[in-house]
């Protein structure tokens, strides 16, 4: 890219993850002169390089490995097939390259300038760009979008430079085959990596600060995951907090505040993330991030400075690639003065790529019970579906929550292989207005047979049979 000295843009987007991409594309398609700043050589942000894409690619390979080892057709049973972490990483790396190349082509095609370097604010219309070679450029714009994302929280009392102590970014460069691993933090990332390592035959100890796994989920789903972890030999310790971490030549020792000590070949610290704001010199424009490095925005994603907006992980919840992309597109419409009342989707689906997968949209049973909504439950167990029997993915089920009187869908919860795809069928009906959002849809429509989608018909009939 040519460097544009003291160029003036309509808008500059800082960061090329899903949030930055959504904003830049939308602004550029509306004829604005746009630049994006990216401090790494490749576009795509944490989503493409360290988070979403690599971990899901790893999960896919490990799932196939488990499938292979469990299938008497392929595996004569004398020896289990083993893969090293580097083996499965090579597939993930090829996916990362494909994604980054594709995303890079979008910027070219839409005439968006990509400027590589680290951005910091000089004032509310000017950025300083520190290039890799040490040179500094200044560029200015009318409006800015901060889409700088987040990074793993790394407390100062843990030595992350130690070759056996990892965070969720550095774990991707793991180059030995651990026999056992301690994962500290049992949120989404910790649970996903617990599945990946356990699936590769590594002994896993998962340390959870709370008293249950993924407590934002519907309790039954969270219990199902706990059971599957337990059943696969994974050890979970609840209500524990670390006191200290000791890195040794031959392993790691985790000392817990409860007095327990744990030992393993390596430790993955996956507890919390921090917004990437410390390098932006935000005090020069009068913005102050909170203790987690996150920025406050209003319903239009505007910060306290009227020409500076922020989207994605850097504003916190829900910290999902899918949500960030939508926020980016929406903020572009706000900046163009085209934002409609049809604001962002209320119900954002959750996809959790453990083995088996989890996905849900809408309310949990606990939320409905607490707000005294008279709901009923419809269920379909995968083991009864022909498609699941054929594919041998019989673990799991689909649960539909619906209103007893209006029959409106209130929540969809799915546990099992392909859950993150299956959930969208229910989501589509749930998003319909008024009478069109009705569980009867699934009974009166014809599903391909055999499919996983047909779980909706089974679950709908099951639920309607409970009404009296």
Numbered residues of the known binding site for FAD: 38-47, 56, 148-150, 313
Q: Which residue shows structure tokens 């993330």?
A: 273
Whole-angstrom distance, CA of residue 232 vs CA of residue 355: 10
CA distance 43 to 157: 32
Residues 6+ apart with CB under 8 A from 301: 309, 310, 311, 315, 327, 330, 331, 334
Residue 321 φ then ψ, to 5°: -55, -40
Orientation of helix 188-199 relative to helix 52-70, angle to 10°: 40
* DSSP summary character for residue 17: S
Round to whole Å and give the CA distance between 178 and 164.
10
Indicate the Cα dihedral angle 188, 194, 196, 199, nearest 10°: -140
| Greatest Cα-to-Cα distance within the chain, rounded to the nearest angstrom | 74
Binding-site entries for NAD(+): 185-192, 272
Task: Report residue 311 as tokens.
Answer: 């989207």
How far, in Å, are 21, 24, 27, 144, 282 from residue 279 at the CA level?
20, 21, 25, 16, 8
What residues does 242 pair with on adjacent strands? 256
| Alpha carbons 32 and 112: distance in angstroms, whole number | 9
Element (H, E) at 287: none
Cα separation, 345 vs 50, whole angstroms: 26
Binding residues: 38-47, 56, 148-150, 185-192, 272, 313
Q: What would the two tokens of residue 200 be?
A: 């590769």
């Amino acid at each position: 890219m040519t460097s544009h000295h003291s160029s003036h843009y309509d808008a500059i987007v800082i960061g090329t993850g899903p949030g930055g991409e959504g904003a830049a594309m939308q602004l550029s398609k509306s004829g604005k002169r746009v630049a994006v700043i990216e401090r790494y050589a490749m576009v795509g942000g944490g989503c493409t390089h360290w988070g979403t894409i690599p971990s899901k690619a790893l999960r896919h390979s490990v799932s196939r490995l488990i499938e292979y080892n469990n299938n008497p057709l392929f595996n004569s049973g004398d020896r289990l097939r083993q893969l090293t972490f580097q083996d499965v990483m090579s597939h993930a790396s090829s996916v990362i390259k494909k994604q980054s190349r594709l995303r890079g082509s979008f910027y070219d095609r839409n005439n968006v300038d990509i400027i590589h370097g680290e951005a910091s604010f000089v004032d509310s219309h000017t950025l300083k760009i520190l290039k890799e070679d040490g040179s500094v450029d200044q560029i200015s714009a009318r409006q800015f979008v901060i889409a700088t994302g987040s990074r793993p929280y790394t407390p100062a009392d843990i030595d992350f430079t130690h070759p056996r102590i990892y965070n969720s970014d550095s774990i991707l460069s793991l180059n030995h085959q651990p026999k056992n691993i301690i994962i500290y933090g049992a949120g989404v990332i910790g649970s996903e990596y617990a599945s990946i390592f356990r699936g590769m035959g590594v002994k896993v100890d998962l340390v959870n600060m709370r008293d249950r796994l993924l407590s934002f989920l519907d309790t039954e789903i969270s219990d199902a995951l706990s059971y599957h972890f337990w059943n696969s030999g994974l050890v979970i310790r609840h209500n524990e907090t670390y006191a200290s971490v000791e890195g040794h030549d031959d392993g790691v020792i985790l000392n817990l505040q409860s007095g327990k000590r744990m030992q393993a070949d390596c430790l993955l610290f996956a507890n919390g993330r921090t917004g990437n704001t410390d390098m932006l010199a935000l005090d020069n424009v009068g913005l102050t991030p909170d203790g987690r490095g996150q920025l406050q925005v209003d319903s239009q994603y505007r910060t306290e400075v009227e020409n500076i907006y922020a989207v994605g992980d850097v504003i916190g919840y829900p910290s999902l690639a899918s949500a960030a992309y939508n926020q980016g597109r929406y903020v572009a419409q706000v900046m163009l003065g085209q934002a409609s009342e049809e604001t962002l989707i209320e119900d954002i689906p959750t996809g959790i790529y453990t083995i088996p997968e989890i996905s849900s949209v809408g309310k949990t049973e606990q939320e409905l019970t607490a707000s005294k909504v008279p709901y009923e439950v419809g269920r379909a167990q995968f083991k009864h579906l022909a498609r699941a029997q054929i594919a041998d993915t019989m673990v799991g089920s689909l649960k539909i929550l619906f209103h007893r009187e209006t029959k409106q869908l209130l929540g969809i919860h799915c546990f099992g292989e392909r859950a993150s795809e299956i959930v969208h069928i229910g989501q589509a009906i749930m998003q319909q207005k008024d009478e069109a959002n009705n569980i009867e849809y699934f009974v009166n429509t014809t599903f391909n047979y055999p499919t996983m989608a047909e779980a909706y018909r089974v679950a709908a009939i099951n639920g309607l049979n409970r009404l009296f």
